[in-house]
Amino acid sequence: MDYYNLAIKRESTRSFKKRPASGRQLTELQNYIPVCRRLFPEIAADVTVLGAGTPTLLNGCAGYHGLMIEAPNYLVISSAPHPHDVENAGFMGEDLVMKLTELELESCWITIRDPEEMRNRLHLPEDRRPMAFIAFGNATVMLPSSRLDIKSVSNIFIKQRTGFVAPKLAVDHAVYTKKWGESAEISSLPLNNSIYQAFIAACCAPSYLNLQPYRFLLDGHRVVMVCLPDEATASDDVRLNVGIAMLHFAGTMENHHPSDTGWIMGPPEGTAYDLPEGAQIAGYYEIDIE
C-alpha cells in the first residue's frame, strides 16, 4: 500500500450511508486481515467484522460520551494479554484503516469505554479483550475539506482544512533533534525524502480527541517517539495512539527502505534524553539508510 498518500487522504467520518460495503470490498478486506501489519506477530489477536446491528448491541459501551457512531459495518480487534497488546491493536487497526481507505471506504475509530461489557455482549472468548473498535462504510456527503477540530470533549466543531497538516501537528513542531524542543527542521528536506514523508504521515495520524499528545526526536538515524503527559487521554487510548502513529511512520518509511527491526518498544539502552517531566519514551525506530 502507498502509506504516505493513504495517511494524507484518510480522515474520520461520522456520517455513513446505510448501504454496507460492497461484497468485493468486504472480500478484499477479509483477505487482507490475516496479513495485516502487526507490531508483535506473536500476539494472538482476532479481527471481527460486524454489521449494522452493532450500535444497538453495544449501546453505552463505546464512543465519546457513550455516543456510538452509526455505520453499516465495524471492525473489532480483540487480543490475548501481552505487555504491548493495546499498541499492537492500534497498529493493526490503523493498518486496516489504511486498507479501508485504499478500498475507498471511510472510517472512524471509536473509544471503547467498557471492554468487559463489550466482550460479554459480543460473546468473545474469556481470554480475549476488545481493544480496537472502528466504524466503516460509505460516507454521506463529505464536506470536501473539513474535519473535526476538538478543543475539548464538550467543544467539538468542524474546521476547514487548510493543508494536510492542519489542524494536525506540523512536522517542524513535532520533530526535535535529540535536544528536546529544538526543531529538527525536517521541512527543509525535499518533499520526496522518505524521512520527511514518514513524519508527515505520523503527524496525520488519528488520535483520541485529535490531541496528538506525542513528539519525536531525530537522533542521527534513530527516531524516538515520546508521549507527553495528558490528563484527557486514558492509558489504553494513549497506547492506541502510539500504535496508530507508529503504523503511519513505519508503513511510509518501509515503502522506501525495508526494516529488519521496525519499532522497538521502550527507551533505547544506554541513552538519556532530557525530557519534560512526565514524558515517556514509547519506542524507537532505527532508520536503515546507508
Interface residues toward ligand FMN, by CB under 6 A: 11-12, 14, 63-64, 69, 108-111, 147-148, 150, 206-210, 237, 240-241, 244
Complex with ligand FMN: residue 93 or 218, whichever CB lies closer: 93
| Least Å from the CB of residue 199 to ligand FMN | 16
Q: Give the span between the Cα atoms of 68 and 64, in whole angstroms.
A: 8
112 touches 62 (CB < 8 A)? yes
Identify which of residues 63 and 218 has a Cβ nearer to ligand FMN in the complex. 63
Nearer CB in complex with ligand FMN: 209/226:
209
* Strands (DSSP E) found in the chain: 45-50, 73-79, 106-109, 129-137, 146-152, 155-160, 175-176, 214-219, 222-227, 263-265, 280-286
Q: Where are the alpha helices (DSSP H) in the chain?
A: 3-9, 23-32, 54-57, 85-102, 115-121, 171-174, 194-203, 235-256
Q: Residue 14 CB, nearest distance to ligand FMN (Å)?
A: 5
CA 150 from chain centre, in angstroms, equals 17
CA gap 170, 162 in Å, rounded? 12
Q: How far apart are CB 270 and ligand FMN at their closest, in Å?
A: 32
Instruction: Characterise 161 by phi-psi region: left (phi > 0), alpha (psi -120 to 50), beta (else).
Output: beta
> HSE of 72 in the Cβ direction (CA atoms, 13 Å)?
15
Q: Tell the smallest beta-carbon distance from residue 78 to ligand FMN (Å).
A: 15
CA nearest to 45, candidates 32, 56, 36: 36
Q: How far is the CB of 191 from ligand FMN (least distance, A)?
A: 20
Residue (4 or 208) nearer to ligand FMN, CB: 208
The dihedral built from the CA positions of residue 247, 253, 256 and 261, taken in this order, carries a sign that is: negative
Nearer to ligand FMN, 12 or 138 (CB): 12
Ranked by CB distance to ligand FMN, the top (closest) residue is 206
Closer residue to ligand FMN, CB minimum distance, 207 or 252: 207
Backbone angles phi, psi at 35, to 5 degrees: -110, 10
Rg, Å, the chain Cα set: 18
Q: How far is the CB of 109 from ligand FMN (least distance, A)?
A: 3
Cβ nearer to ligand FMN, comparing 91 with 263 = 91
User: Residue 159's closest CA among 172, 173, 169, 145?
Assistant: 145
Least distance from ligand FMN to the Cβ atom of residue 135, Å: 9
Nearer to ligand FMN, 135 or 226 (CB): 135
Q: How far is the CB of 23 from ligand FMN (least distance, A)?
A: 27
